[in-house]
A and B are shown apart, each in its own frame.
Chain A
Amino acid sequence: MESLMSILIGVFFAIGTYLILTKSLLRIILGTSIISHGVHLLIITMGGVKAGGPPLLGLGSTSFTDALPQALILTAIVINFATTAIFLVLSYRSYKVLGTDDTAQMRGNEDE
């Protein structure tokens, strides 16, 4: 399972990186989202999968999956949501102001 997951995560990173390297702002944001999925899966896989029951004490299981990675990922998901939202609004704004969503055309400043 872990080996397969590693390959899956690698694919996520590769696709995410390729999207980030494109010019369109929307694609870049899509790329960051895919990479963060990869990161979440990476963290949880590294914590060991299916090693015990869910980390809920009331269910009566004797061993639990590592709860710490889960807590970390929970934080990561929420923060990722916040950054994605900002990315989206930023790209919306820059398109409104600059009239393009192509990063190649956003080069330089008025002084140049």
Chain B
Amino acid sequence: MSLLHIMILIPFIFAIFVPLLYKLFNSRIHTGWFVLIIPVVIFIYLLRFIPGISSGEAAYQSLNWIPSFGINFDAYVDGLGLVFGLLITGIGALVILYSIYYLSKEKEALHNFYVYLLMFMGAMLGLVFSDNILVLYVFWELTSISSFLLIAYWYQREKSRYGAQKSMLITIFGGLAMLSGFIMLSMMTDTYSIREMFTQVDTITGHSLFIPAMILVLIGAFTKSAQFPFSIWLPDAMEAPTPISAYLHSATMVKAGIYLVARFTPVFGGTSEWFWLVSGIGLITLLYGSVNAVRQTDLKGLLAYSTISQLGLIMSLLGIGSAALYFGYGDEADLYAAAITAAIFHMINHSTFKGALFMVVGIVDHETGTRDIRRLGGLMTIMPITFTVAVIGAFSMAGLPPFNGFLSKEMFFASVVDVSNLTEFNMDTFGILFPIIAWVASVFTFIYSMILVFKTFRGKYKPERLEKKAHEAPIGMLISPIILASLVVIFFFFPNMIGDYLLKPSVAAVLPAIAENSIMDMYITPWHGWNTELFMTIGVIALGTLMYISLRKWAGIYRMYPQSITLNAIYNSALDKAQSWSASLTDKYMTGYIRDYIAYLFGFFILFVGGTLIVTNSISFDASNNAPVNFYEIALMVAMIVAAFTVLLAKSRLTAIISLGVLGYLVSMFFVIFRAPDLALTQLVVETVTTALFLLCFYHLPRFKEQVHKEKKGVPFKPLNLIISIGVGVVVTLFALSANGTRLFEPIAGFYEDSYKLAGAKNIVNAILVDFRGIDTMLEIFVLCIAALSVYTLVKLGLSRREK
């Protein structure tokens, strides 16, 4: 257990003590203050890795978990993991600080909240620092579960439960798909370690499971990162408390999909399938999210769609960047490697400005009681600090200088322009779509960013429409958004600080081949002359402003889209149908009649045993070693068959019982023929007692139905039952014949023939029962005792009931 593992596990361990702390101190100190220590400590601990990792070293610690299956908890810290780790703990600390003022310690169930939050934090850290794919999967699902719990934090609300269930169903579905993809990967490479897979890329690329594994892993990433068409869970996840939306559903958890794609780029990247799937879905999501964000009236809904859109942007950059692997290394590879830089840079930027914006929306909600854009307005003078933060965040999101969003947006434009000139992967035909979609989506991004700021803070203040009298938030609630907003500005002026220490090592982790073979010349600058990117940005601002001003004139277009074919409507009806279909299907076969269930059992027996006999081609018939048959044995057999049929066909119970007795005695005759005197004796005794028992019951039980309804002629046969029974008989016969024809092993009976020497017994069967398998026989007696007690109890219980 190394310090690295302790770091991952400490949120879980601390979570155990949270309820205790809540109980002891909550009346005086907000529980959040205790929890805050954890991310701060881990953040500082992680900062210490920066010097080593920026010089190209990675930290690695192994911990045996299930070594016999090759599953070890291998913690691995490289550039990519470190960026995520810093985001998780850094934003985590700010969010917890914010939540201390956001969630009232009197009203809210804080112990639940912080337990879930810590669980999430630990799971997320485990996810980004795991080298073993199965460990990664476990943490991946843990993030889904903690997200579910946090969305349903206000579980009294129906919408919260709906949103929680939706996110759970979609992300767990994706997680399972990812698991199957992982299993395929491990089948191809015979390892669970991601880094060992990097060394076997050629084996994986040439394998027939390559495409299925890729698609399954991508489904996992796309569901988690809310990519189209799995994006529908994210807007409903906004039912969670705002600190959670800021933390899980914009800054960290939804970026797990980004992480996964980046992490597996060296494995799958460089192929046209990966390039098109990742960048294509990314661009569609970018456009879908930004277009839909404009129509939202709920501020958090707007931010949710905006997050979807921004995630699409990052995803498409990763797709574009994967082209670098196609070229190996050199100038062209460097060109596309810049897209990976842009992706990770934008991801960091997005976490800062979107985190700040979520916190701003939380403040507005907290201080006015609503998030509805139609009811808000004119808050600029009432909440000046909040307004400033909102402007910084929104302008950064829109891609305006002097904010960090401008830098990464320019880099994004540069990448889509570069990639449109690509001649591989059919890009000469479709390449031009990339800059067009990117540009149109950016126009909409600009519009919703403006809506967010100006509809909320400008315009007329309408106090009569608000539930509370609006006022500026307490200073504690403002600290976190102010820190994030300052970072937005600082990153703009000093981008290369991040570039050198964080981006370079991350890109090296995503594109190891390039990092080894060329010196990455990475220099981010706000000004790079009058180039295409800059003109694109100017165009976005011009058209965006124009469209924002004329918003009312064209917003009606949104209403023209039919509600019945939205993704949400499809999801809802699919969910309803799945429930009603499964209910009707279950009702069909779960009839409640024992007889039906027994029929299933026998049917399964026929299919399974008979099927195995046929599939393994083991039906054989070999009568050469058979013992001879004489006349009176055949006569006995005929008598037995007659007796058995009499039991079956008998109309009176007495006939049936007596026939069964006859059958039993005939069986004991067979035991005599088969040289089994002990069996014959036992069978005789048992059969006599059993028949007596049957006759006793006969006295109490009712007559057969056929006897009662004499008008019915003969015994009614059920065709299906007949087929099943004949099937069972045939399968057993075939089985017996085949088993008789194939003798695989020598009998072990020879050992027992020494019974006189070994056990001092001349009767071998007795020696086996009371000596060789003595304990077995003792337990058998025990079973008999239990049976006797049960019989006694059942009979007695009936008597006492009657006496009452």
Which residues of chain A are near B637, meaning CB under 8 Å?
4, 8
**Of residues 25 to 71 in A, which have CB atoms within 8 Å of B's CB atoms?**
25-27, 29-30, 33-34, 37-38, 40-42, 44-58, 64-68, 70-71
Which residues of chain B are near A107, meaning CB under 8 Å?
592-593
Which residues of chain A are near B645, meaning CB under 8 Å?
15
Q: Does B773 contact A (CB under 8 A)?
A: yes
- Whether A2 lies near B623 (C-beta < 8 A) is yes
Q: Which residue of B lies closest to A23 (CB)?
A: B595
- Whether B678 lies near A74 (C-beta < 8 A) is yes
Separation of A44 and B765 alpha carbons in the complex (Å): 13
Instruction: Give the distance to chain A from B32, nearest Cβ to Cβ, in Å.
Output: 46
A-contact bits for B753-770, CB 8 A (1 contact / 0 none): 101100000111100110
Q: Which residue of A lies closest to B767 (CB)?
A: A67
- Whether B736 lies near A46 (C-beta < 8 A) is yes
A-contact bits for B712-735, CB 8 A (1 contact / 0 none): 000000100110111011101100
Q: Does B690 contact A (CB under 8 A)?
A: yes
Q: Say whether, besides A51-B627, A106-B594, A70 and B679 are in contact (CB < 8 Å).
A: yes
Separation of A5 and B671 alpha carbons in the complex (Å): 12
Q: Which residue of A lies closest to B763 (CB)?
A: A56
Separation of A20 and B281 alpha carbons in the complex (Å): 58
Instruction: Give the distance to chain B from A24, nearest Cβ to Cβ, in Å.
Output: 6
Which residues of chain B are near A13, meaning CB under 8 Å?
725, 728-729, 732-733
B-contact bits for A72-93, CB 8 A (1 contact / 0 none): 0111011111111110111111
Separation of A75 and B683 alpha carbons in the complex (Å): 11
Separation of A27 and B647 alpha carbons in the complex (Å): 9
Which residues of chain A are near B657, meaning CB under 8 Å?
30
Q: Say whether, besides A41-B667, A92-B700, A10 and B733 are in contact (CB < 8 Å).
A: yes
Which residues of chain A are near B728, meaning CB under 8 Å?
13-14, 17
Number of B interface residues at 8 Å Cβ cutoff, please give it: 95
Instruction: Give the distance to chain A from B55, nearest Cβ to Cβ, in Å.
Output: 70
Which residues of chain A are near B730, meaning CB under 8 Å?
10, 14
Instruction: Give the distance to chain B from A108, nearest Cβ to Cβ, in Å.
Output: 6
Q: Does B562 contact A (CB under 8 A)?
A: no
CB within 8 A of B769: which of A17, A18, A46, A74? A74
Q: Say whether, besides A67-B768, A70-B678, A21 and B740 are in contact (CB < 8 Å).
A: no
Q: Say whether, besides A17-B602, A56-B762, A26 and B676 are in contact (CB < 8 Å).
A: no
Which residues of chain B are near A68, meaning CB under 8 Å?
747-749, 752, 768
Separation of A5 and B628 alpha carbons in the complex (Å): 12
- Whether A10 lies near B693 (C-beta < 8 A) is no
Ordered by A's residue number, 9 sampled pairs between the chains whose C-beta atoms are within 8 Å are: A1-B627, A1-B629, A21-B725, A23-B705, A34-B660, A44-B679, A68-B747, A68-B752, A97-B798
B interface, CB within 8 angstroms of A: 592-595, 598-599, 602, 621, 623, 626-629, 633-634, 637, 640-641, 644-645, 647-648, 653, 656-657, 660, 663-664, 667, 670-671, 673-679, 682-683, 686, 689-690, 693-694, 696-698, 700-702, 704-705, 718, 721-722, 724-726, 728-730, 732-733, 736-737, 739-740, 747-749, 752-753, 755-756, 762-765, 768-769, 773, 776-777, 780, 783-784, 787-788, 790-791, 794-795, 797-798
